[in-house]
Structure 1
Amino acid sequence: MWITLSTLALGEPSFADVRSNSIAELGTQTVFADPTSDALSPSAESAQHRLQRWPGNVSLVSESDYDRRAVLGLSDVLARQPGVYARSAAGQHSPKLSIRGSGLASPLGVRGVVLLRDGLPLNQSDGTLDPAYADPFNARYMEIYRGANALRYGAATLGGAINIISPTGYSHSGVETQLEGGSNDYLRLQTRVGQVFDNGMDAFASLSRYQTDGSAPQSEQKISRFYGNLGFMVNERSIGRLHVDYAEMQQQITSPLTHAQLHGNASLDDPPPSWPDHRIKTNPHLRLAYQHSINYADDDLITLGAYHMDTSFDLLGTLVPIEYRARDHGVSVRGEIKRTLGGRDNHFTWGFSHAQGSSNSQTYGPFVPPPPLGQLADPTPQQYEDIKASAETTQLYLENSYALTPRLALITAAQAVTAKRRREITALRNPFPQIPQSPFYQHFKNVDHSERYNGWSPKLGLLWQVNEHNQLYTNLSRSYEPPSLIEFYNAHSTTTAQKATTWEIGARGGEQIHWDAAVFYSRVKNELLKIPDPGKPGSYMGGNIPRAVHAGLELQLSGELPAEKLNSTVDWGLSYTLNHFQHKNDDTFNNNRLPVIPQHFGSVHVTYQHPSGVYVGPDVEFASSVYADQANTLKAPGYGIVNFTLGYAHPSSCFTVFLNARNLADKNYAASTEFIAQANTEQAAFNPGLERSLFVGAKILW
């Protein structure tokens, strides 16, 4: 069962887990004597208690919530989290990821959501991210901070943040082997080793191989990965940890389908894919990070961090081949000061972070325009462009929680950000020197643009401890998002930062049935979507939409039913999201719905568990129909798919085996859609979901 924490206060923890007996006053603090928990890698129980200091919808997904079934990628880990949209095409590892409608039109990677490992970013310096580098197979647990609840890590984005907490030698001692296999030549093999040494040092290492052919043409993926960390203790108040990530990836990029192709009513060659050999290969991806925490006075804490990332890949089989390399590095400092003011508990958090990075891309021939614009336009392999880009983002944030009464806490916070984006393109040659009317003629020209962005984001929240088991909260916040390096400049001008003012209200609690509900309403200014291109009537480009609304309901229910006659239990859960994302009186798109994210989506699961270790049960994933374009002319139909899991987990936890069946009815459906400004009804815009598949797996702890 997943653990849900829609939390309201940023002061001292207000009560212990709502699923157990709790303390009703805000000032009470629980101390966990857990050798597997420290300031840099707290246990799930400690994190669950700490997360209750947030005035908004925050949740925690433990490794034990998803490791007893096949996990094809991040989408399987986040499938039961309301407000989080993570869908993978054809069973691939890398999903389309959005929280509360963030980053809908991001042309490359994910924008609007900050992904972190132990509080340090996995995103590049301009805020973009490839979710393939967010490794769910080396997560002790994940914290999901929706919207402004991510301010603790300096993330003031519309979507929020996901923080991956790493395993350590303390939390995962011994040797563990995992093996999964199944349909579409799926294979995942992983070995993890953890060790604690006599001098207090500990080490964790993981080596894994992941591969699948996918359930659709052109969806093969292979990933080899190493992750390790080394922790050491200077003394009881000073600890450090070094992290190493290394990944090599080869991935075919699945071509979107038309409505007829999706449902098997047309050949996959009618129309043919634009680029049937579209693929990406990393060479490789490397990340180094170090953190050090010092408990310098009572409960006062300061944490220092630094990281470096080096990413290179080849993008092949598309318009032009691209060789890309990026280097990003950053530092962060975060402090926590706990005092009493006027006899009331006060918790002050401050932080500073700076990220800086640069990238270099080279484009080469041959030039292959997509159908129906023509055949091979330029067969020569010489270089077209040299593209240099750089980004800097600096953030300062302050947050304070004060207990007005034993049951009421006031939270105030603010974040200031300054960011710079620059892109320089040197055109070495143009494949269309004599054809200025070509739609690609203007792509090959010299460009040198830069822009500075400055903004701040305040936040105000309240938490009310209604009784022993229930809380109410509300908060008002603002987000400020500078554009990415791809989005900050279109063909005519630089874009402005995206801003949003968000109001959120929610509650959580329950004893027999645990419930968690939040409602949010965001007024978004200058959202980065698609706008008409003034130089090409009928065409669109990236830019700022003046006004939009993002509103929604996030609901989670869970419980445990005793089956006394069978000496067993039945766990159940429901996750439901209602979204209302739309333009607001736009000159081009009026009040149309925003595309990509369905208005309704969620999941239901029921699991029967026998004391012997046998577990069995179905789960259902569902989503309503959704538009693929801002003009609301092309829509993907809704769907509901049924999965089933049968497994055995030994009571000693020394081994687990399972069988996991997906999409039992073999339904054809669109897991996600492309983002299009104005589509036609025959356009290829739908990314197919996983077909009926069967997976088996085993985990052994030696």
Structure 2
Amino acid sequence: MKHYLYSSILLPFLLLLPVVAWAQTTINGQVLDARSRQPLEGVTISAGVNGQQIISNAQGEFKVPVNGEGATTTLHFQLLGYATRTLKVILPLTQVLQVSMQANATNLSEVVVTGYETNRPLLETAGAISIVDSEVIQRFDQSSLVRAVNTVPGVRMEERAPASYRISIRGSSLRSPYGVRNVKMYLGDVPLTEASGITMLNMLDAGNIGRMEILKGPVGSIYGAGTGGAILLEPKRAAPGEHQLEVGGTTGSYGFRRYAVTASTGGEKANALVQYTRQQYDGYREHTAMEREVLLLSAQFYPSEKQTLSTYLIYSDLFYQLPGALTQEQYNENPRQARGGALGSVAQNASMNTDGVNIGLSHEYKLNNRWRNITSVYGLFRSQDHPFNTDYERNANQEFGARSLLVHTTRVGVAEATITVGGEYQRGFQVARTFDNNGGAVGANRSDDELISETGLLFAQAEFLLPGNWLATAALSYNDTRYDITRLQQAAAGADFRFIRDFNAVLSPRVALLKRLTKQISAHASVSAGYSPPSEEEILTSDGVLNQELEAEKGLNFEAGVRGRIFDGRLSFDVVAFSFRLNETIVSRQDVSSIAVFRNIGSTSQNGLETALAFTVVEESMAPLSLLKLWGSYTYNHFRFKDYQQGETVLSGNKLTGVAPHMATVGLDLATQVGFYLNLTSNFVDTIPLTDENTVFSDAFLIVGARTGIRRPLSKHLALDAFVGAENLTNQKYSLGNDLNAFGARFFQPAADRNYYGGLSLKYAL
């Protein structure tokens, strides 16, 4: 009887066991950083509302047991410094689930950076690195990157005319009368700086950039020749789980109009983004109109957990007028006028007309947890048609290049080591013709050149994670640059000739040491050598003259810094001091025809301090006041010429031309739960020497900008951002992009007075 009773009780449970076993399943997955595709450790994963919590391991892997067959379960992913993600998973799941998480802009000390190819948190990166993300870019009207970049200590971006950019990292604009030189730039994993040493940053729209990492000082060990620094740009991409269409428009003072349409979709296996932007500007000054159209196609594919394929295509059509610089008298009389006279900007229709296509493809393959390879290829095609004040140029460029690196993680004794080796090669071909400029029309031919530019480097780097939270880095690169110029015609000579300039290959080492003092504070120090050969435009000037004697710059940089967060993470700081000695320094001067000419001088001594601070007063998404943040940056430059003599005049000890001794930026960010936001930014720049002789200085200025608006959902799928803003609220009269050592004392390129803008964008999300 008892046996029958036990059987009656146990039988239903025994019958249910297969059902329970059949209903129990496990979700296997891996969590990755959305940008770097590196594993994220410490992510909290929970299933359902009250599900069990699992923590991802060092490889980002996790296993979540759930119940259900043919049902849907919800997974929640949380990690400090990253946006929380929620995914719905249909059971059973037979494959490994890959989950991408997007870093928050407000917790940069936990964000992984790609600088020096380390893919480490910023707190574990031994170097002076600043980050400009999309939120910083969107603080302004997105007409250019100038105001966003100028929030960074040690960096100065100028705009001599709309879309005529110049970037100075620790004084590197000394040799850049126009354009971006002596700063190596990458777009994704491929060079944006061409083999000729020139970077066409103005071919991009500010909205094309998702993020910038600015590496200050010589970084030749990984990114090749350069004494100014490197800037790593990441094209805008779709965020994980994002499926949306965005349209927007902005209009403002002096005929400013900008329109943008963006369609994006992001999944766990692929993401794609298409963006079209059009910008027009009538100009604050006479003869400063501009128009630019840019089409960006950006995509990433993850065919397996071991592979990532990234690609982009950018088509750009750019036109802008060149107003020319003014003398002090003209600047005081009427800063809105253009350069006048028979060779004036209006009379000669001085302007830039450029269109081109840039294509890049990058493939990352993880052989296993210890080996990975990244190989990238790119190509570009560009045509230029430029009437200048004294001549007319027509050029056509085509270029291709490749970069590949192999990363191996292993152990060497008690240290975990990461070894990186690789190489990069670029080859460009340019047809360059100069003519007389007859009132904006092509005149007699002056010169006809074919230029082949080749540059390459081999590099190796070893990182050692040592006991006691020490990180040591040793790196070395071998750089080589060659120009091959064939002159097919020159009016004055009447004979063909060939000029080859092969700069001696140079080894550039870098040694760095970092100590993690606490979980939130680290200190670092480094010594690095810089090498920067002249660009093609410095060898072959715009009037067709060959500068055959110009040598490469070489320098040695020492720096030390500390960064971190205190007061429960509310106060973040980043302080760097550096000392840089540059030899064979290249300087520029204008001749009688306003053509920039270049020469080597003895050396310069560049010492400085860079500081960035941010204090978060309030950061609570559900509170009425959801964000209140104060931040600022300060730069001190003590830059001097050494061993410099101009004729009989000794200039040693003079202040470095084009560099302000003091620069500061202060900002405030405020946001509320209902969607109202306010961004305030003020920027101070001290007096700047405009001649090597230190006889002329620009005035110091303080400008203030503001943007306010409301961001909020209008429905389940539709969101609105409506805003108004103003720049130069202090109505300062200042020059943004002075001409250094200008002939005829034409130094000043006046910037706009107080101006306003407003606009809106609509996002429709699925």
| Cα distance, 1:239 vs structure 2 | 2.3
Q: Highest relative contact order (Cα 8 Å, sep 6+), 1 or 2?
A: 1
Contact 2:139–2:679 at 8 Å: present in 1 too?
no
State the match for 2:155 in structure 1: 84
| Cα distance, 1:510 vs structure 2 | 2.5
Shift in CA distance, 497/317, structure 1 to aligned 2, threshold 3 Å: closer
Asked if residue 238 in structure 1 is aligned to residue 307 in structure 2, the reply is yes
Q: Which of 396, 404, 410 matches 2:472?
A: 410
| Cα distance, 1:353 vs structure 2 | 0.3
Shift in CA distance, 566/655, structure 1 to aligned 2, threshold 3 Å: closer
CA distance in 1, matches of 2:140, 2:664: 18
State the match for 1:296 in structure 2: 367
Alignment of 1:373-522 (within 5 A): 381-430=443-492, 448-453=498-503, 454-488=505-539, 493-511=548-566, 512-522=570-580
Structure 1 stretches of 4+ with a deviation exceeding 6 A read 12-17, 27-33, 563-566
| Cα distance, 1:541 vs structure 2 | 3.9
With 266-275 and 571-580 compared, the bigger mean Cα shift is at 266-275
Letter in 2 for 1:256: A
With 103-112 and 580-589 compared, the bigger mean Cα shift is at 103-112
State the match for 2:611 in structure 1: 555
Q: Number of paired residues? A: 647
| Cα distance, 1:201 vs structure 2 | 3.9
With 201-210 and 142-151 compared, the bigger mean Cα shift is at 142-151
- Which digits, 9 at most, give the CA deviation of each residue in 1:221-256, with x for residues without a partner? 100110102333332212212211100011101311
State the match for 1:636 in structure 2: 698
Letter in 2 for 1:618: L
CA distance in 1, matches of 2:158, 2:335: 24
Shift in CA distance, 684/445, structure 1 to aligned 2, threshold 3 Å: farther
State the match for 2:13 in structure 1: none
- Which digits, 9 at most, give the CA deviation of each residue in 1:529-549, with x for residues without a partner? 14899xx9xx99411112111
Q: Which of 638, 657, 665 matches 2:722?
A: 657
Contact 1:14–1:52 at 8 Å: present in 2 too?
no
Shift in CA distance, 427/648, structure 1 to aligned 2, threshold 3 Å: same
State the match for 1:142 in structure 2: 212
Shift in CA distance, 449/281, structure 1 to aligned 2, threshold 3 Å: same
State the match for 1:581 in structure 2: 639
Q: Which of 582, 595, 602 matches 1:524?
A: 582
Asked if residue 329 in structure 1 is aligned to residue 394 in structure 2, the reply is no
- Which digits, 9 at most, give the CA deviation of each residue in 1:228-285, with x for residues without a partner? 0233333221221221110001110131122233333689479647333444444521
| Cα distance, 1:684 vs structure 2 | 1.5
State the match for 1:6 in structure 2: none
CA distance in 2, matches of 1:34, 1:346: 27
- Which digits, 9 at most, give the CA deviation of each residue in 1:386-444, with x for residues without a partner? 122111001011111112323112110011011111223333534xxxxxxxxxxx9x8
With 501-510 and 539-548 compared, the bigger mean Cα shift is at 539-548
Contact 1:614–1:648 at 8 Å: present in 2 too?
yes
Asked if residue 318 in structure 1 is aligned to residue 374 in structure 2, the reply is no
Shift in CA distance, 576/322, structure 1 to aligned 2, threshold 3 Å: same
Contact 1:74–1:95 at 8 Å: present in 2 too?
no
Contact 2:166–2:176 at 8 Å: present in 1 too?
no
CA distance in 2, matches of 1:177, 1:540: 42
Asked if residue 616 in structure 1 is aligned to residue 678 in structure 2, the reply is yes
Shift in CA distance, 266/289, structure 1 to aligned 2, threshold 3 Å: closer
Alignment of 1:119-134 (within 5 A): 119-134=189-204
Contact 1:13–1:53 at 8 Å: present in 2 too?
no
Letter in 2 for 1:551: N
Asked if residue 229 in structure 1 is aligned to residue 302 in structure 2, the reply is no
Larger Rg: 2
Shift in CA distance, 150/229, structure 1 to aligned 2, threshold 3 Å: farther
Letter in 1 for 2:113: A
| Cα distance, 1:479 vs structure 2 | 0.7
Asked if residue 672 in structure 1 is aligned to residue 737 in structure 2, the reply is yes
CA distance in 2, matches of 1:30, 1:469: 22
State the match for 2:226 in structure 1: 157
Aligned-pair identity (%): 20
Q: Which of 175, 179, 184 matches 1:109?
A: 179
| Cα distance, 1:169 vs structure 2 | 3.9
- Which digits, 9 at most, give the CA deviation of each residue in 1:490-540, with x for residues without a partner? 75633111101000111111223211111111110111114899xx9xx99
**Secondary structure of residue in 1 paired with 2:520:** coil
Aligned-pair Cα RMSD in Å? 3.2
CA distance in 2, matches of 1:540, 1:327: 25
Shift in CA distance, 157/195, structure 1 to aligned 2, threshold 3 Å: same
| Cα distance, 1:72 vs structure 2 | 1.6
Asked if residue 346 in structure 1 is aligned to residue 410 in structure 2, the reply is no
CA distance in 2, matches of 1:518, 1:85: 17
CA distance in 2, matches of 1:100, 1:266: 29
CA distance in 2, matches of 1:270, 1:164: 35
| Cα distance, 1:192 vs structure 2 | 0.9
Alignment of 1:57-72 (within 5 A): 57-72=128-143
Shift in CA distance, 340/358, structure 1 to aligned 2, threshold 3 Å: same
Asked if residue 190 in structure 1 is aligned to residue 260 in structure 2, the reply is yes
State the match for 2:326 in structure 1: 257
Q: Which of 596, 600, 603 matches 1:544?
A: 600
State the match for 1:697 in structure 2: 759
State the match for 2:237 in structure 1: 168
| Cα distance, 1:208 vs structure 2 | 0.9
Letter in 2 for 1:57: A
| Cα distance, 1:597 vs structure 2 | 2.4
CA distance in 2, matches of 1:474, 1:427: 52
Contact 2:684–2:700 at 8 Å: present in 1 too?
yes
Alignment of 1:207-222 (within 5 A): 207-222=276-291
Contact 1:263–1:668 at 8 Å: present in 2 too?
no
Letter in 1 for 2:281: T
Letter in 2 for 1:654: A
CA distance in 2, matches of 1:607, 1:75: 19
State the match for 2:27 in structure 1: none
CA distance in 1, matches of 2:40, 2:300: 31
State TM-score, norm by structure 1.
0.85
With 559-568 and 143-152 compared, the bigger mean Cα shift is at 559-568
Q: Which of 139, 150, 169 matches 1:99?
A: 169
Letter in 1 for 2:128: N
- Which digits, 9 at most, give the CA deviation of each residue in 1:347-399, with x for residues without a partner? 1112200001011112223467xxxxxxx9xx983323212211100101111
- The unaligned stretches of length 5 or more in structure 1 are 1-11, 18-26, 369-375, 431-441
Letter in 1 for 2:537: I
With 550-559 and 50-59 compared, the bigger mean Cα shift is at 50-59
